[in-house]
Amino acid sequence: MNGRDKFERFRFVLYFFSKIFKFFPKFICNLLWHCSMPFNGMLSKSLRYVLLKAKAYSIGDNVSIGANTIIKHWENLSCGDNVSIHEFCMIDCDGKITIGNNVSIAHATSLVAANHTWNDISNPIKYNPITKIGITIKDDVWIGCGTRILDGVVINNRSIVAAGAVVNKEVAANSLVGGVPAKIIKKI
């Protein structure tokens, strides 16, 4: 039985618990998230899904979050249906992150929706203002392992980001990108 079939089978239970967790304080949800982090079984993934469904801006059906994945500022995360975020990912939703349908994000990937500025030379860079443009990943996207996606990036439909790429600008639809910084390798 694949993940979509399992989700359909337990949809009512998952939705029921997500409604209950909406009333839990954020610190309890964070504690439960951290308790489930080291585990990758169905129960742990279900708990992470229910917590996200309760606290994130919008979470679709059949969203799988792998073990040891950190998601900061859940309230700025929007996620479509059939999304898998694999182990050891870092999702920093300081700015809004929108993930479409049928997206696979491989392990050890970082999405950082904020960026430091350096215009005020009277302050160290770390104390300069931060921009929060956000990240948009549209439908039918595959992001390879160890990828870094930076603030302001839009990855358009049916695209592939090669493993280890650093994406700092828009990715055209139907393209394979890779490298540091990421550039088009070919159209698909």
User: Average pLDDT of the chain?
Assistant: 95
What pLDDT does residue 65 have? 97
Residues noted as catalytic: 116
Query: Domains of the chain: which residue ranges?
Result: 3-187
pLDDT tens track for 37-89: 999 999 999 999 999 999 999 999 999 999 999 999 999 999 999 999 999 99
Q: Over pLDDT 70: what percentage of the chain? A: 100
Q: pLDDT band at residue 7, thresholds of 50, 70 and 90?
A: confident
Q: Which CATH class is domain 3-187?
A: mainly beta
What's this model's pTM, rounded to 2 decimal places? 0.94
pLDDT tens track for 90-105: 999 999 999 999 999 9
Q: pLDDT band at residue 147, thresholds of 50, 70 and 90?
A: very high
Q: What is the DSSP letter of 119?
A: -
Please provide the size of the chain in residues. Answer: 188
Distances (CA, A) of 147 to 58, 69, 161, 188: 24, 14, 8, 19
* Buried b or exposed e, range 83-98, using 16+ CB within 10 angstroms: bbbbbbbebbbbbbbb
E strand or H helix that includes residue 46: helix 42-55
Q: What is the mean pLDDT of residues 166-174?
A: 98
